[in-house]
């Protein structure tokens, strides 16, 4: 009975820790005191469109897409690795019921599926025999059209860094880590900076919880929607 009690307590503690927000996500006191947030709902089992921060993708059109699949070995003595390289060009309509912008972008990514070798899988449980998938490389380039702003708003993302250019303003995307020292650090998300000011954050290391996005409430309404649109594109690859 006591063992069961401690197991339940441990599970609850783990769940609480998984769902809590790491202090590093808020970066500084100014951003912590002036932000709004929401879960990033990617809704793959519903309409396959991102919902976040009061906005959503209304339409997502694939203009062209191609993929190349390579298998590194047969998976008899060593794990079977299947590498899928995807190139896709898409256009999305993003925003709210009252205001929408257009996102046009190209994405390249590598998806690696690893399956235990036939020899090794004999000693594994059914769950351990399931293939493991991971994205090892992502490169995104695109632009937004926002009502009232002339010309394109370019953006890019590559492996947790990137940029977003709004007029004369340049916002840069950098990684957010938890812990100290290279060996002890864990990548927990990304932050979007204008100069030294934090304008947005995505917490991608959330355990069993959904990824979470944060916006700087002192940013203009246009900036907030543009940043949310950028996050809607890159969030699924974090």
Residues 131, 205, 142, CA angle at the centre, nearest 5°?
85
Share of the chain above pLDDT 70, in %: 78
What average pLDDT does the segment 147-156 reach? 93
Average pLDDT over the chain reads 83
175-188 confidence digits (pLDDT tens): 888 776 666 678 88
Of the pLDDT bands very low, low, confident and very high (cuts 50, 70, 90), residue 66 is very high
- Residue 67 CA to residue 182 CA, distance in Å, equals 35
112-127 confidence digits (pLDDT tens): 888 877 766 666 676 6
Distance of CA 1 to the CA centre of its chain: 41
pLDDT at 219 over 90: yes
3-state secondary structure of 186: strand
For residue 6, what pLDDT is reported? Answer: 42
For residue 8, what pLDDT is reported? Answer: 40
Against a cut of 0.85, is the pTM above it? no
Q: CB burial class (10 A; 0-12, 13-18, 19+) of residue 86?
A: middle
Q: Name the residue with higher pLDDT: 45 or 97.
A: 97
227-237 confidence digits (pLDDT tens): 999 999 998 88
- The count of C-alpha atoms lying within 13 angstroms of the C-alpha of 180, restricted to the half-sphere facing its C-beta, is 0
């Amino acid at each position: 009975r006591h063992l069961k009690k401690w197991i339940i307590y441990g599970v609850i503690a783990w769940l609480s820790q998984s769902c809590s927000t790491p202090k590093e996500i808020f970066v500084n006191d100014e951003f912590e005191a002036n932000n709004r947030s929401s879960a990033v709902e990617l809704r793959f089992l519903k309409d396959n469109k991102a919902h976040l921060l009061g906005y959503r993708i209304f339409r997502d059109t694939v203009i062209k897409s191609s993929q190349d699949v390579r298998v590194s070995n047969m998976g008899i003595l060593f794990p079977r690795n299947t590498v899928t390289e995807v190139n896709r060009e898409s256009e999305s309509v993003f925003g709210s019921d009252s205001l929408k912008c257009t996102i046009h972008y190209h994405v390249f990514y590598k998806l690696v599926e690893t399956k235990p070798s036939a020899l090794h899988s004999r000693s594994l449980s059914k769950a351990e025999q399931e293939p493991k998938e991971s994205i090892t490389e992502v490169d995104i380039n695109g632009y937004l059209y926002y009502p009232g702003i002339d010309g394109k708003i370019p953006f890019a993302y590559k492996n947790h860094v990137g940029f977003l250019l709004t007029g004369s303003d340049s916002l840069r995307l950098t990684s957010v880590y938890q812990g100290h020292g290279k060996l002890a650090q864990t990548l927990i998300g990304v932050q979007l900076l204008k100069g030294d000011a934090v304008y947005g954050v995505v917490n991608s290391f959330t355990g069993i919880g959904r990824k979470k996005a944060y916006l700087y409430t002192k940013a203009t309404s246009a900036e907030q929607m543009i940043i949310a649109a950028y996050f809607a594109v890159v969030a699924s690859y974090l």
